[in-house]
Structure 1
Amino acid sequence: MKKTPTLFPFILVTSLFFLWGFAHNLDPILIPHLQKSFTLTTVQATLVDSAVFIAYFLMALPAGFIMKRYGYKTGIITGLLVFALGSYLFIPAANTQQYVFFLIALFIIACGLTILETAANPYASSLGDPSTSTQRLNLAQSFNGLAATLAPIIGARVILTKGNTLEQLNAMTAEGRRLALAAEAASVKTPYFILGTILVLIAVIFAFTRLPAIQTSEGHVASKNIFHAFKHEHLTWSVVAQFFYVGAQVSVFSLFILYATKAAGISQVQAADYLGLCGLAFLIGRFIGTYLMRYYPSSTLLGIYAVVNVLLCTVAIWGQGMLTIYTIIGICFFMSIMFPTIFALGIKELRGDTEFGSSLIIMSIVGGAILPRVFGYISDVTGNIQYGYIVPLVCFIVVAFFGFKGHRVKVKPESLPVSTIL
């Protein structure tokens, strides 16, 4: 049988990493935008993250079942269409000016992202030589970093620059304020409509593209019970590490604009530009990390990067002025390899438990719904948003443990046959 080429499918799958990275990195723009529009506290504003990452927890197992029952191609197309639906819902959300409607639209977007990530991460990891799976996944995830660079810069100019300052809004009559906020709400329609349309077009391309099956070791079958996956101790630790890592990443990126405007005293648009630099550092870190993995174990790099970020978080807590901004940019650089490396190490040697293992790691992304709210609570209670960086500091300690010890494969699954049908 003629082998299906992998280059074009890999390019297509890699485009997904850019798309969901772009969607995620518009959230830090939405948070200050919606906070002003609906007069929200920091904790209330973090409901944006909660709506997104709770979806990961609720949808990860159904996504895994879709992959096991219908294959990765169907899963990817389904994820793209659900992602597009949520993007289109931003139009009625803006028309109704209801915060809850925005949260619903974000939740639906995240349901689509969950299906995509559950499919694309193991698929990109497995689409080639198993010995280079971590490097391949980091390469694909690098385009997530490119999205993290572009989304804040583009989003700030499309969304944040369209509105009035708080002083201007407070000077208006009640009716004038309502009309002004309605105009601001309308600024989200165009970017999300364009995003939804692109997603539908890519879904059509996937529908007409032949994707190669993921080849697994002969003599193994997919397990029928998710609890079987917990036999792998390194998978359990990867779920824990991913929970804390995503909580740290979301805290850093989503609350950056609020942090930067208070810690360094800069404007929101300036903060958005620096957030773009955070994304650029994230992107560069991915490429450098992928290169270094040719010479050093990925687990060792993960542990070292996490320790460096623990030290940087102490500066983020106690630093002043622009030093705090440069510190966060540094944190983003050293966060760059964490998600794909934890994922790749977590599904290593799972064999028949790979689909369920992938779902469990994706479920752990719910850390992004919980830990930023702890960050916000600390910020509101203390009156100092810098103290919120205690949360990422603790998170990186957990990631360091996984990198140095928790990733080790201690329980090997019994030999079972596995299906290779996509």
Structure 2
Amino acid sequence: MKTVQFYYDRTMMDLEVPDETPVLVSRIEELKSEKDGSEIVAEAMEHPIASDRLSKLANGKKDCTIIISDHTRPVPSRDILPNMIRELKEGNPDIEISLLVATGFHRPTNVNELRNKLGDELYEEFKDRIKVHNAHDPSENVKIGVLPSGPECIIDRQAAEAELLIAEGFIEPHFFAGYSGGRKSILPGVADAKTVMGNHCSKFIDDPHARTGILKDNPIHEDMIAAARMAKLAYIVNVVIDEKKKTVKAFAGDFEKAHLAGCEFLKDYVGVKAHPADIVITTNGGYPLDQNAYQSPKGMSAAEATVKEDGIIIMLAGCEDGTGGDFFYHIIADEPDIESAYQKFLATPQESTRPDQWCSQILARIIRKHPVIFVARPEQKEMIEGLKMTWAADVNQALELARKIKGNDASITCIPNGISLVVLPE
């Protein structure tokens, strides 16, 4: 027997499994550096991809808005932002710098979360120049064009009016946009709800190209690229992080080409061959991405790619923040069964997309084919059951429940961090 450790909340859960049990992990840990994250970022910024140095871009600009990630993303902002701010001031000491938090469709980031993200010193310096984007306040957002698929492209007014618009971020596999980072700082990051819902429509979510690790012919990605171009996103710094959330590689420069370079680099480390099994155990990589149920389909989609046709998925996510969205919850919970919920998603036209429908649709897509046993905090039991899944207190109890259905000899595949890899066909 061997012990497999699964990321859960702010800790790990251990499970004893047979020695031959496949454990799917990325090769990110092979990326080692003697330098700290700040040095890695600084070196990338010294050699931007398809772009002038940020200091040159700042010349002659009155103001600059830096789009930063919100509380749900483990972006190492303390490595990135000081370098961006330093270069901006080197190029233009008088430039007015402000921060715009890319909440997308998430709840607003609070002060404590901003302090934790930025550190006390940076927070105190910018606390009067930090705006938390609100996708649901039309008065704060402005139309800048029309997306290729038809919806209006509406973004935060501060981003639209900035003389210089730049962004931080990180690159990891994404369950329907292919990869995170780059253009996602604009859409959904600082986009209006109307634009996000048009981009995340049921038709696009159902498209076979809208999957983890796929950019080519991905309709969601194509709309996101168009939105970033319309917003005139001038420069990005995106990083790759290891399992401990440490910066191991950085890419700076043009938002398309630097991001693509990062994706090409990353895919060699995150692609793993599927090992079909009766029971697949996965996670959302621990805190912060496992703090609500809304984010959980990300980790589940990795299991979906390797579980057998009649197999069971075990999902681990603490969900300290509950559902992550009432709409997300009720779209499924208020339906009599998962199939009726799923068919309603597919029948919803683009212009009628409902808030948080995309994550619910992916969750329903998975649950309708595979029973899901969900390990979460005890206080979330009712919520998990409302989402038509089975709650378990820990991974050992979850496996016991799964074996009652599939048998004690059922095969198992373990995925300690479901958001860190791209499961490839056999």
TM-score under structure 2 normalisation?
Answer: 0.28
Which structure has more relative contact order (CA 8 Å, sep 6+)? It is: 1
More helix per residue: 1
TM-score by length of 1: 0.28
